[in-house]
């Protein structure tokens, strides 16, 4: 457990200078800005005895009281079977099953994808990162499908840049409640963390731009089968946009109905295709994987009520 308990009186600012609380604390501690923001959001920092936000502008004379703590985590290799779609010296493509967490986090220290990667691969990028080695991007615990894993830092940098530059395309398949009005479309909103529940995201007037493209593949009486392509990769992006449409993903009790028609262990959302450029050869590559069995079974049953394509 790492702790930081301290009282700081701000005194070194220039006349009339103001600075964000999270930026100030990053400059005087060895904690990262994201770690500090998490502590502030959790109420472990006060200014003059009051809870404030990370963007609070401090000034000379402010008394900052810190009661920070975080658990030190590291991942250990575990002999967990992996569905390896592709592998070479630079990266691997993994088909992650529904229910598997990508990397250790509070409350989930073992049985993650990273634990399995450490057992199956001798080398992964970011070896100094004890909980996220090799992880270039993530998908939710209850979302299944393809992930790219970097095996060296050069490949990691290339793949990360492709995602940032929107040249690595991630395609998803989902079953939605009800039917979308249009067969194809593009949605662009801002997505930020909910102010009432920090565990979920929401469409808001502020936050980060999130862009999703969609294409309805099949329509049923009360559902539609849709392909989504991410242009950006915000937390829970497809799930949030599906709720924004008014047609949440089937099985998603966080962003959809608590009373689901089907007995599922999570949302019917599957990352079925990845398009990327090889970090070394420059070759353009496409990888695909089938829908999970439980997803295919539900679609098969729904075809009996299909109304049009």
User: CA 147: distance to chain centroid?
Assistant: 12
Quick one: which H or E segment has residue 115? helix 113-120
User: Closest Cα to residue 215, out of 159, 284, 273?
Assistant: 273
Q: Is 166 helix (H, G, I), strand (E, B) or coil?
A: coil
Residue for token pair 């009281």: 65
Quick one: which H or E segment has residue 294? helix 293-302
In angstroms, what is the C-alpha Rg of the chain? 22
Longest dimension (CA), the chain: 73
User: CA 149: distance to chain centroid?
Assistant: 15
Annotated catalytic residue within 22, 62, 140, 142: 140
User: CA 266: distance to chain centroid?
Assistant: 16
User: Closest Cα to residue 72, out of 18, 122, 31?
Assistant: 31
User: Among this protein's residues, is 140 annotated catalytic?
Assistant: yes
**In this structure, are residues 115 and 81 in contact, taking their beta carbons and an 8 Å threshold?**
no
For 48, the token pair is 């003059």
DSSP code of residue 265: S
Residue for token pair 């999570």: 266
Residue for token pair 């993530």: 138
Catalogue the active-site residues: 140
């Amino acid at each position: 457990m790492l702790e930081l308990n301290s009282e700081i009186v701000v005194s070194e600012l220039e006349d009339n200078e103001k600075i964000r609380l999270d930026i100030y604390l990053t400059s005087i501690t060895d904690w990262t800005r994201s770690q500090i923001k998490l502590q502030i959001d959790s109420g472990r920092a006060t200014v003059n005895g009051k809870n404030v936000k990370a963007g609070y502008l401090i000034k000379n004379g402010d008394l900052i009281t810190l009661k920070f703590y975080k658990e030190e985590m590291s991942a250990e290799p575990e002999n967990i079977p992996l569905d390896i779609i592709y592998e070479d010296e630079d990266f691997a493509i993994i088909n992650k099953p529904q229910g598997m967490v990508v990397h250790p986090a509070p409350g989930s220290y073992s049985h993650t994808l990273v634990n399995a990667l450490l057992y199956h691969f001798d080398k992964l990028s970011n070896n100094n990162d004890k909980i996220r080695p090799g992880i270039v991007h993530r998908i939710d615990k209850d979302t299944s499908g393809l992930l790219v894993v970097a095996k060296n830092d050069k490949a990691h940098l290339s793949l990360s840049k492709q995602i940032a530059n929107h040249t690595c395309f991630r395609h998803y398949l989902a079953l939605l409640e009800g039917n979308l009005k249009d067969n194809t479309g593009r949605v662009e909103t801002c997505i930020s963390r909910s102010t009432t529940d920090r565990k979920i995201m929401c469409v808001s007037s502020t936050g980060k731009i999130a862009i999703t493209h969609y294409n309805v593949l099949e329509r049923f009486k009360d559902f539609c089968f849709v392909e989504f392509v991410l242009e950006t990769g915000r937390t829970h992006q497809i799930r949030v946009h599906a709720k924004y449409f008014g047609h949440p993903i089937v099985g998603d009790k966080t962003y959809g109905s608590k009373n689901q028609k089907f007995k599922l262990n999570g949302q019917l959302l599957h990352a079925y295709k990845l398009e990327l450029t090889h970090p070394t050869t420059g070759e353009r590559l496409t990888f695909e994987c089938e829908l999970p069995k439980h997803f295919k079974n539900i679609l098969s049953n729904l075809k009996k009520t299909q109304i049009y394509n």
